[in-house]
Amino acid sequence: MKDTAAPYVTTDGRQIGDVLMDMRGITLRFGGVEAIKNISFDIREGEIRAIIGPNGAGKSSMLNVISGFYNPQEGEVWFRGEKRPAMKPFQVARLGIARTFQNIALFDGMSVLDNIMTGRLTHMKTGMLSQMIWKGRAEREEVENRAVVERIIDFLEIQAIRKTPVGRLPYGLKKRVELARALAAEPKLLLLDEPMAGMNVEEKEDMSRFILDVNDEFGTTIALIEHDMGVVMDLSDRVVVMDYGRKIGDGTPSEVRNNQEVIDAYLGVAHD
């Protein structure tokens, strides 16, 4: 089994760079339950990396380790060539890692625009005093960041709902707003936890196109969890397969598709 690939060029001609995130021997326990057992894999700059596996395999736990919700008992997380100490989620966010959630986690009381503007918070530095005065630094910063947010609004085609309270939006649009909020942070690594869960075919196609466009236009590295195999195989450059907290496969979609262990995990094996 091939664990790491050197920098390479994808079939559609995108240059995949150095290792951005390196997970080394991660083990995560909840009491006596080992959710993740000694898993290592890396994510390279510019690639779309999928994490797949049956329910309860530990995929979301893995994403939570990357985004700082859980700190693993064993193993090291390396980001941009440096070992990352145990961190709180907001510190991880400041390193340039943004994510979306499986069940949407938007701020229901705020408008779409304000929700996406929260994604810029790591970039907004003016102190409370200048904010109170508003005119001058705070307003300038607000306008600069608004311009960034407006580009993302254009990109994801949600101009019409800018001022709508998020609570009133349908599910598919909420997912898109959540992606917009994550993108507004201009992350180096974007984590998507089941971006297509509960969508119909048309919405899935839209979302897939947005993910590819994000990767293409902004050069954002993306790690995603997804259950729809068709989507995973089409979108991703490399795939990690997990089952019962172990890694059972790692490689390009075609390699993974032909891996006997992966096939067994998904289809089950006859016990004789």
Partner 1 sequence: MLYREAGDFKTTYAADSQTFPIAFDRWRYWAVLAVAWLVIPFVIDDYWANAILVPFLIYSIAAIGLNILTGYCGQVSLGTGGFMAVGAYSVYKLMTAFPDVSMLIHVVLAGFITAAVGAAFGLPSLRIKGFYLAVATLAAQFFLVWLFNKVPWFYNYSASGQISAPERFVGGIAVTGAGTAPAAQYLICLFFVTLCALLARNLTRGSVGRKWMAIRDMDIAAEIIGVNPLTAKLSAFAVSSFFIGIAGALFFAVYLGAVEVGEAFGIQKSFLVLFMCIIGGLGSIFGSFAGAAFLVLLPVALKVLGVDLLGWPSSTVAHLQLVAVGALIMFFLIKEPHGLAQLWRIAKEKLRLWPFPY
124 lies in the site for partner 1, by CB under 8 A: yes
- Tell me the closest approach of the beta carbon of residue 153 to partner 1, in angstroms: 12
Which one of 119, 195, 245, 253 is in contact with partner 1 (CB under 8 A)? 119
- Tell me the closest approach of the beta carbon of residue 25 to partner 1, in angstroms: 25
Would you report the helix, strand and coil content of the chain in percent, each value rounded to 5? 40, 25, 35
Nearest alpha-carbon partner for 207 in 186, 224, 185, 221: 224
AA identity, residue 1: M
101 lies in the site for partner 1, by CB under 8 A: yes
Nearest alpha-carbon partner for 229 in 206, 262, 202, 261: 262
Nearest alpha-carbon partner for 241 in 41, 5, 100, 77: 41
**Which residue intervals of 10-136 are DSSP H helices?**
59-66, 89-95, 112-118, 128-133
Tokens at residue 52, please?
């797949």
84 lies in the site for partner 1, by CB under 8 A: no
- Tell me the closest approach of the beta carbon of residue 163 to partner 1, in angstroms: 9
Can you count the helices (H) and strands (E) in the chain?
10, 12
- Tell me the closest approach of the beta carbon of residue 90 to partner 1, in angstroms: 5
Comparison of 158 and 231: residue with beta carbon closer to partner 1: 158
Q: How far apart are CA 115 and CA 181, in angstroms?
A: 6
Nearest alpha-carbon partner for 116 in 154, 172, 69, 60: 154
Q: Which long-range contacts (CB under 8 A, 24 or more apart) does 134-139 make?
A: none
Comparison of 52 and 182: residue with beta carbon closer to partner 1: 182
114 lies in the site for partner 1, by CB under 8 A: yes
- Tell me the closest approach of the beta carbon of residue 105 to partner 1, in angstroms: 4
Residues numbered 140-159 forming contacts with partner 1, rule: CB under 8 A = 141-143, 146-147, 150
6 lies in the site for partner 1, by CB under 8 A: no
186 lies in the site for partner 1, by CB under 8 A: no
132 lies in the site for partner 1, by CB under 8 A: yes
176 lies in the site for partner 1, by CB under 8 A: no
Comparison of 106 and 156: residue with beta carbon closer to partner 1: 106
Binding site for partner 1 (CB under 8 A): 67, 69, 88-90, 93-94, 98-99, 101, 105-110, 114, 117-122, 124, 126, 128, 131-134, 138-139, 141-143, 146-147, 150, 181-182, 185
